[in-house]
Structure 1
Amino acid sequence: MNATKPHSTLWIAVVALAGIQAVPASAEESPWTRDNRIAISADGNPHADADDVGATPLTMAVMAKAGLQDNLVHFDFDNFLEYERIDPEENRMWQSAMGAQARFGFDRNRFFDAAIQPNRAIEHLTGVINESTAKDPLYLIAAGPMELIYRALEAADADARKHVTIVSHHDYNEYFKPRLWHRNWNDIQRLVPDIGYLRIKDQNGSKGQGLKGSSNDDFQWLKHHADSKLNWVYDRIAAGKPDVSDAGMLTWLIGINGTDTVVSIAEMKDWFGTDSISNTGDPQTTPDAPAGVAPDVVPPQGQSIFKEVDGKLVIEAESVPLTDDWVVETSESDFSGDGYIRWMPSWIHKISHQHQGVLMYRLRITHPGEYRMALRSSHKGAPERDKWNDCWTLMGLNPVHPYGITRKTYHAINQESFDSGTGFTWHTTHDNYGSVAKSDGHFSTPVYQLDKGDHYFWICGRSGGYRIDKIHFFKQGVDGFKDDAEPVTPIISVDQDRDEPQR
C-alpha cells in the first residue's frame, strides 16, 4: 500500500513479495476485542518530532479510563535506534511514558526506553509476539519508525508473527529511517508477507478533525479538568507540541471513534467527561530517568568499495544492489555505460517518502580534501512544468534528523538539453530545507570535505521517472569533473578487501 495515497476508509494490506496490494475492508469498525492484547512502539527522541511527548500520556490516559491497563503488554519509546545519547535532563519521553505508567497504574516491567535498553526492548517485544495465536492475536501500534518492530519480528517464531496486526495512520511511521540502513514497512512486508495491517486515516486532520491542535489552547480542557492526572497530561502536551495524533490509533482500535476512523479533539473532550480516572497509580513512584547510553552504531559493510584514484571517483549508478522501486534501464546512444537506474514507484507522478529506495555507495578516499559531487541525471519525458527532477542524498553516517539532514538533490529543467536527446545533464544542486537551509542557504553546490578512509554516500528515491547514469566525486582542482568520457574508477568487493593485507 502506498502511504502517499489518501485513505477514506480502513485499509487492510494484503502483501505479496511481488508487490504491495491494498484491499478496502467492508467496514470501518475495528476488529479488536476487549480480550485482545495491545503493544505500542513510539519515538519522541530529542531532535525528532515532538508529538509523542503528548500523545503517549494521552494514549495511556485513554487506556486507563477504559480500564485496559492489563491489555497493554508492551510499550517502548525513544525508538530511534542507533541514534544518539539521551541524557536524563533531555529525556522528555521518559517523563511522559514512565510518568503515565506510574499515574495510571500500568505494569512498569512492560515499559522500555529503547535509547537506554534497545536489546531488552526488542527481546520483550519478541516474547510478546511469540505468545500470539489465532485466539490470542497481538495488535501492534506503530507510533514511530519500524526498525525495532522489524528486529523483534525477525527474531520471533514464524507461526506466531502471522497473528500480529500492525496499526498505522501515517507514512512517517511507516517509512522514516533514523539510520538509512534501517528497515521500514516495505521490509516488514518482505519478512512477513502475511502479517496483518490496519491503515486508518491520517489522525492529524484539519478543520476540527483529528487530534492535531493549532495551539496548546485546544487542550485547555485537560489543563482545567478536575482530575490532576489529566492536568499533568496537558503539561506534557505543552512540553512537546499540540499534536497528539498518534493517540488516534488507540482510540480507533478500542472503538471510541465509532464508525469514523478519525476522532476529533472535541470528541475526546466529551468522551473523557468531567469524572476523574480511577486513582490506580501513584505519581510519586515515577522512577528517575537513567543516565544516557551512547548507541552502538554498526554501519553496513555493503558488497563493494569504490576506490578514489588521483582525486577522482567515477561510479556507474547501477553498480550497487537496487532496492524498492529502482530499476535498470538500457543505455541510449549519447551517453556511456551499460545502463542507468530509474526510480519507478507505482505512484510515479507523486513524491514518495524520503527513505524508500535507499542505495549505498561506500567510498574509499586516499587523497583527502574537498570533493565536488555531481549526478548525471535526467527526467526526460516529464511534463514541461514538472519539477519532479530529484532524489534524496546524504553523505556520511550521521543520524538522519527528520528535518533537513537528508538533502534534496536535483538538476534544473530549464536547460537547452532538456528537450533533446536523453535529457541527461551534470547540473546538480542541493535544494536545502530545515536546519541545513539555515546554515547553508536554500540552494548550495554539493561539496564535501572527505578525510582519508571510507565514507558512505546514500541516494534515496523521490521523483517518479527520475534517471541517474553516473556519479562523480572530484577533488577541487582536478580536471575532468562532469566529463562524460571519464573512465570508471576501480571497484573492489568487501570480501576481497578483507583478504587483502592491511597497511
Structure 2
Amino acid sequence: MNPFFLFIVLTVTSFSSYLCVAQKSVVKMPKGRIAFSSDGNLHDTDDWGATAFSLALIHYAGLEKRFVHYDYNNHLGDSDKNWEQVMTDAAKGGAKRFGLDARKVFDDQSEKEAAITNFVKEANSSNKKNPLWFICAGPMQMAYDMIKATLPEKRKFIHAISHSQWNEVHNHSENKKTWEDMKKDFPDVVYHQILDQNKSNGEDDFYSHITNWKWLLESNNENWKWLYNIDDTGVLDLLTKGRKESIEKYFDISDAGMTYWLITGGPYGGNEKGGWKEVKALFENKPITNSTPTPEVVFESDDYIFLEAESTSSSLGNWNLIRKGNKNYVKSASGFAFLEFNGNKPQIGNPDSPLQYEFVCPKDGNYRMVLMTSKRLEGVPSDWCNDIFVKMEGDFESGTNLTKSDLTNYIKVLQEGNEATAELEWHWAVQAEKEKHKYYDVIYNFKKGQKYKLTLAGRSQRFSIDYILLYNSDKFGLYDAKDFFSKKK
C-alpha cells in the first residue's frame, strides 16, 4: 500500500474514533436525578418541541434511569385545551418513544395533585450523593407549590434551574409566585440561572432557522421525524394564526437548552451555548433502542366502566346498528359493531333518539368519560359530523370545572382534533364544549355501589360511536387510558 495513502487512512480512522469518543465524553451530568416543570398550554408554544427534545436528549445521553419527574401544562388558571393536548403528546408520548418512565409524567390540568405527590417523593429521597436537578421551564407557581410541600431539611439537595426571565416573573391568572419568591421563601434550594438559549449562540443555537433542523425530517428515523413535526413550526398553524409569520422561519426549542446544559456538566462546565449541531452529533452517536421500555399500564376491573354503544335497551330511533360487512363499517370496531346517527343535519341539531345506559360504580373516585368515535362526511366540511350530546343522572358531584347542572343536562361532546382528524377512522372524543371554543374535561365524582344512568343523544348526522369509557382519573392519566383501551379493543 502506498505509504501516503496509509497515512491518510490511519489519520481519518483516528479522527473518526476521536469524534466518537468526543461525543461520548460530552455527557458529563453531575450525580443525581432529573425533574422538570413546563407549561406549553398558554402564551408560548416553544415548550411543545422543547419538551419532546429534552426527553430525547436524556435518552441519547443514556440517562433514562435518572429521569424521575415531568409535569407539564403548568400555566395554572387560564389554559388552551388544544395546546394541552399537544403537550400531552410531547410529554407522555415523548417519554414512551424514548424509553423513559411515562408513569413519572403528569398533566397539571388534570393530575396536579399526583404531580405534587411524585415530586415530593423524589425530593424527599434526595441527599448529597443523589440530589434532584429541577428544570423550571414554565411559570414558577407550580414549582413553588411543589417545593413548598417538601421537607425543609431536604431542600438543600434541590437544584432549581432557569434561563428565562419571562418564566421567572410571569404572574398571569393563578400564577402569582415568581423565581424571586422561591429564592426568598426557600433559601436552602440551590439556584442556577443560565444563559437564555434564545439566540445565545447566534444562528446555531436551540432557537434558529428551520433549515438547520431539516436533517430530522430527511432521516429514516420515525422518532426524529416526529420531533421535527411536534415543534410549533409544524403544529401551531393548525390551531391558531397567532405566530404564523415567525414560525414559518424559526425552529424554537430553547427550553431544551437547559437540559443540554445539565447533561453536559451543569454548573461544572455545562455547555450553555449548544444548539442544532450539538443535538445532531449526540443523536447520531447513539441509535434509538427499546432497552428500557415503559412498564405496561394495567387497569383493574374497578378502575373503569366500559360500555359498548350497541349494548342499550333503548329504542335506536335514528341510530343505525352497523356490523362488519356493512358498506359503512369502520374497521377495528370493538365487538365488530357500532352505532351511527342518521337524524338531524351533518352540522347541527337538537338532542334526538336518546340511548340510555345504566351501571353501578365499582368504587369511589373521579371517573373521566371519553368516547371512541368516527365520522362519515360524504363531502361536507371535515369539522362536521363530529359530535354528540351526553348527560348523567345519579348521586354524583362534578369532578371538573363544569357544574353539576352542566353534567345533568345535555352537553355537547366532540371528537378531538376537529377538522384535523380523518373520517372513517376511530378517534377519541374527550372534551365537552359548553360555550363556543371553550372546552372542558367530563369528569364525574362517583360513589361506590351507586347506580347511575348515562344518556347519549344524537346531534350531528353520520357521527358514530363504538364504546363509552369512564376511567378512574385519580389513578390514570388520559394518555395511559387511551393507549390501553385502544389496544384492548
TM-score if structure 2 supplies the norm length? Answer: 0.49
The answer to which structure has the higher helix fraction is 2
